[in-house]
């Protein structure tokens, strides 16, 4: 990273965009979002309560909230079937899939390095 030699090139990104990107990541890296993303990636289209059952420990409130958020961000498509009792299905959009793929690296990192992290924690705690 040597952007001082090419002033107009990388430009260190403009601060406004950078903030937006941070906000995006903050939003999208949310625990429940990640879990729902994962499940919809695995299972395809699911109903509201099916997602609720598959996402261990999520409250109905958080489920609604997170799904609404993801829908608003264009990550999931919500389909309401006009039947009684109501049937609402959720699936990832193309954008949702692409985010899911983007997270593969982090996911893999976590799986492969969790041992090292726990080791580091143990060592740190032992030092105190």
Partner DNA sequence: CAGCATCCTAATAGATACTG
Partner DNA sequence: CAGTATCTATTAGGATGCTG
Query: Of 45, 33, 42, whose CA–CA distance to 89 is shortest?
Result: 45
By CB under 8 A, is residue 11 in contact with its own copies?
no
Work out how close the CB of 116 gets to DNA at its nearest, in angstroms, rounded to a whole number.
23
Residue 50's contacts (CB-CB under 8 Å, 6 or more residues apart) are 43
Nearer Cβ to its own copies (57/85): 57
Annotate 85-94 with b (16+ C-beta within 10 A) or e (fewer).
eeeebbbbbe
Q: Which two tokens stand for residue 5?
A: 């030699």
User: Does residue 44 touch DNA according to CB under 7 A?
Assistant: no
User: Site for DNA (CB under 7 A): how many residues?
Assistant: 23
d(CA 110, CA 117): 9
Choose one: 6-14, 41-49, 98-106, 115-123; the region binding DNA (CB under 7 A): 41-49
89 is an interface residue for its own copies by CB under 8 A: no
Which residues have CB under 8 Å from 86's CB, separation 6+?
Answer: 80
Using CB under 8 A as the binding rule, the residues of this chain from 17 to 76 that contact its own copies are: 17, 19-22, 24-26, 28-31, 34-35, 42-43, 56, 71-74
Site for DNA contains 113 (CB under 7 A): no
Picking from 41, 108, 30, 44, the residue whose alpha carbon sits closest to that of residue 73 is: 30
The residues that touch DNA, with contacts defined as CB under 7 A, are: 30-32, 47-50, 57-62, 64-65, 67-68, 78, 85-89
């Amino acid at each position: 990273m040597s952007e001082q030699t090419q002033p107009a090139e990388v430009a260190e990104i403009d601060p406004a965009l950078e903030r937006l990107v941070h906000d995006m990541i903050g939003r999208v890296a949310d625990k429940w979002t990640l879990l729902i993303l994962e499940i919809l990636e695995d299972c395809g289209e699911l109903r509201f309560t099916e997602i609720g059952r598959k996402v261990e420990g999520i409250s109905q409130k958080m489920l609604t909230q997170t799904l609404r958020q993801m829908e608003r961000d264009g990550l999931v498509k919500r389909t309401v079937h006009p039947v009684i009792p109501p049937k609402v299905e959720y699936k990832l959009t193309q954008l949702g899939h692409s985010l899911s793929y983007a997270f593969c690296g982090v996911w893999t990192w976590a799986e492969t390095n969790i041992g090292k992290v726990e080791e580091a924690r143990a060592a740190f705690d032992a030092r105190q």
